[in-house]
A = this chain, B = another copy of it.
Amino acid sequence: MVSERAKPSGPKFRRRSEARPDEVLDAALELFVEKGFAATRVEDIATRAGVSKGTVYLYFPSKEAVLEGLVRRGVLPVANSVIEQFAKVSGDPRLILAGAIRMLGNRLSDPMIGAIPKVVLREVVSFPQLAEMYRREVLDRTIPVLVSLIERGIAEGYMRPVDPELTVRSIVGPLVIHVVLAQVFGIVPKGGMEIEALIDNHLSVLFGGLSAPGAPDIG
């Protein structure tokens, strides 16, 4: 409030057409996470971004377009770096997998990044275009890479002959549910919510299995 005095008789606004879209997206992300898309008014976004409502419409044709821009900006870099990790074509695929899982886990647990899938998940039903975009830009690009990594792992004798496509779900599911439990329901393991511990345990179960060495086979 008083800190505004930095510019006592300063101008009422600044012209910053370069920075505006990002400022709007930053504000929108915060609000969508706090209250959801439907409950967020365009005017709220504008206020938090330090502009007026009209300005939002200078840069985005609609409220939905703000959401779309948000997803595009926030999620593509992550998908790209995950793909880059997976793309390593030599070495034990399990190590590549482990590295990529660690990376993905760390990204997801960053609230500003992990928030985006959460928002997508919520709005997808009333905004099918968003689902399609997310699928096309993220899922359809990452899942196949992951599948072929598993296929190579099996072919080269590093992994048991599992179904690669279904195993993808065993790999990413635990990460996602961990974030959901923590961020949505406030359910945090006793040891704290450092994602590192979760990832370590997950990798241990994933590669080593849950059964004890001496225990009888089940099946």
Contacts and interface: CB of A to CB of B under 8 A. Distances in A.
Interface of A: 33-36, 38-39, 92, 94-95, 98, 121-126, 131, 134-135, 139, 143, 153, 157-160, 162-163, 165-167, 169-170, 172-178, 180-181, 184-187, 189-191, 197-198, 201-202, 204-216, 218
Given A201-B170, A218-B98, A124 B207 contact: no
A189 B162 CA distance: 14
Contacts of A177: 169, 172-173, 176-177
Nearest to A157: B212
Give the oligomeric copy count. 2
12 contacts: A34-B125, A36-B125, A94-B211, A122-B122, A159-B210, A165-B191, A166-B189, A169-B198, A174-B174, A176-B180, A206-B209, A207-B209
A207 B218 contact: yes
A135 B184 CA distance: 10
Given A166-B201, A180-B121, A95 B189 contact: no
Given A176-B177, A201-B163, A35 B126 contact: yes
Given A125-B184, A160-B212, 8 more contacts: A35-B125, A38-B38, A39-B126, A135-B185, A159-B215, A160-B209, A166-B189, A170-B201
A144 to B, nearest CB: 11
B33 A125 contact: yes
B197 A163 contact: yes
Contacts of A185: 124, 131, 134-135, 139
A204 B165 contact: no
A142 B161 CA distance: 32
B210 A94 contact: yes
Contact of A36 (B126, B169, B184, B215): B126
A209 B208 contact: yes
A93 to B, nearest CB: 10
A153 B209 CA distance: 13
Nearest to A205: B170
A98 to B, nearest CB: 7
